[in-house]
Amino acid sequence: MKKIYDLTVIGNGMVGSYSFLEIRKRYRDININFVHDKKRPGSASAAAGAMLNVFGEIDYDKQMDNYQQRKIDIGILSQKKWKNFFKENDEYIKCNTAKNTIIYKSKNATKLEKNCFKEIKKWNDKYNFKNHNLSKQILKYKKKIKNINSPLDEFIGISGEGAVDTNLFFSIFDKNLKNNKKTTISLDKILTITKYKNYYKILGNKNYYYSKKIIVCAGSDSSKILSNITKKIMPIFYGVGTAFVAHPKQNEFEALPKNTVLRSPNRGSTCGLHVVPRNDKTYYIGAGSFISKSKIKSFGRVETIKYLTNSLQKELIGPAPYLEFIPVVGYRPISFDCKPLIGMINNHPDIFFISGTKRDGLTYSPVISDAIINWLDNNKNYELFKNWEPERKPLSYGDTPFAIESYIENKIAGLIEHNNENKKNYKKIYAELKFEANQFHKNIIKKLKLKKDFGIHPEILNIY
């Protein structure tokens, strides 16, 4: 006789794994089918630093909507929940490898980076996440970097903005995960889902499964899995993130503040330098990003590794000729409008969908897990994620002229940062980018039948 599961979870990134733990605590008796690949190919969570961001990821964003405020509210709540998680789950405490964050600014920063820095300072001051100890660490570090002629000139200390070693997290999680009467672990890749009587048939590469309820949290692949169920989810792209884990041979990182993330603000096209300590004395160094319509078959971008190693040595640690490293790559799930897609599928309220979490999904995982529990309890969407439902219409990024200006600013910052252009050619580049952005806008608006003055997010604009 075929088995019909009460719930199937597709995807074992942080969203799927964290939620699985919480669902199991609350619903001990339901039959859960957890479908995934143990190696987590392409998982954003496995490739992430991973910082529990609230202020560090704030962009200079002139949009007149309340996106920044929402990010901060959800971020602060998420941080609290992560702290509780570590308190209540002893085994995982060693995954919490950093407790604070220091943001730095370089004298040579582009206009965009300076603006991001100011914005972070503004919000951090408003919420007053300062801490005396951090100021002491900054002073000590400032003295040390004089020896390497670092161009850094300003710092912001953010208390409580920590980090999680996701690889350690997953190794503990996987070790504890066992097949039992109530949980089935299906190592498979899901291809499609179809409605079948009053439940769903889930077709995988190896097998098929039946389930009454389904959570789809398969990163950028999530909407493909639902292609037989709905065509209304906007395109989701692969935000290819390249980073590396540094294995120090000498004392290259000795001068850095302890238990603390040291990072730049965003530097255009979402690049920036993040140094995240891990508890095995390695350091996560991230991360670049480029957006692609499909997966890539490589270990990342040489240019990104070059950029990260150069910045690391020039700005933070000085020459490190013997540093060894392992590259990591993962796909940030990025929706067409760069906002999250979280909630039930309209005509299929027994399917809950999570994607589009971009640079914040790791941080948000505990709150997303609350949204899932709320759905299981009440069959409802979660108030905190209102207007981010999966089948919503794309949200405009300001209007067209605003989006074009942002695109130019972002692009110029990226070009200067990567030494592909210098500031002297600014006028010429500005004109070329404006022309290109106008063309891109016209084409996409026509192709996707959007409103005439729709503003396309600067990170998405040139992938069409």
Ligand X SMILES: Cc1cc2nc3c(=O)[nH]c(=O)nc-3n(C[C@H](O)[C@H](O)[C@H](O)COP(=O)(O)OP(=O)(O)OC[C@H]3O[C@@H](n4cnc5c(N)ncnc54)[C@H](O)[C@@H]3O)c2cc1C
- What residues line the site for ligand X (CB under 6 A)? 10-16, 35-37, 40-45, 47-51, 53, 189-190, 217-219, 221, 225, 241, 243, 286-287, 330, 332-333, 354, 357-363
For ligand X, the closer CB: 11 or 455: 11
Q: Which amino acid is at 86?
A: F
Dist CA 341 CA 359 (whole Å): 13
* Contact partners, residue 217, CB within 8 Å, separation at least 6: 9, 10, 11, 13, 15, 16, 19, 353, 354, 355
For ligand X, the closer CB: 92 or 454: 92
Query: Tokens standing for 161?
Result: 């903005």
Dist CA 420 CA 404 (whole Å): 21
For ligand X, the closer CB: 169 or 397: 169
CB of 329 to ligand X, least distance (A): 8
CB of 380 to ligand X, least distance (A): 21
* Partners of 104 in beta bridges: 155
- CA 109 from chain centre, in angstroms, equals 24
Dist CA 66 CA 384 (whole Å): 13
CB of 441 to ligand X, least distance (A): 27
For ligand X, the closer CB: 257 or 330: 330
Dist CA 210 CA 229 (whole Å): 15
CB of 427 to ligand X, least distance (A): 34
* Contact partners, residue 7, CB within 8 Å, separation at least 6: 23, 27, 30, 31, 32, 33, 211, 212, 213, 214, 215, 376
For ligand X, the closer CB: 17 or 150: 17
Find the angle CA(101)-CA(105)-CA(107) to the nearest 5 degrees. 160
Which ranges constitute the DSSP H helices of 240-346? 302-311
For ligand X, the closer CB: 14 or 323: 14
C-alpha distances out from residue 9 to 20, 188, 260, 338, Å: 8, 12, 34, 24
Dist CA 143 CA 185 (whole Å): 53
CB of 7 to ligand X, least distance (A): 15
Pick left, alpha or beta for residue 387 (phi over 0 → left; psi -120 to 50 → alpha; otherwise beta). left
* Partners of 399 in beta bridges: 454
CB of 29 to ligand X, least distance (A): 25
For ligand X, the closer CB: 382 or 454: 382
First vs last C-alpha separation in the chain: 48
CB of 409 to ligand X, least distance (A): 23
For ligand X, the closer CB: 119 or 221: 221
For ligand X, the closer CB: 184 or 438: 184
CB of 13 to ligand X, least distance (A): 2
For ligand X, the closer CB: 145 or 345: 345
Of 342, 317, 163, 206, the closest CA to residue 255 belongs to 317
For ligand X, the closer CB: 164 or 450: 164
CB of 103 to ligand X, least distance (A): 13
CB of 46 to ligand X, least distance (A): 6
Of 340, 342, 355, 338, the closest CA to residue 456 belongs to 338
Of 80, 126, 122, the closest CA to residue 103 belongs to 122
CB of 295 to ligand X, least distance (A): 10
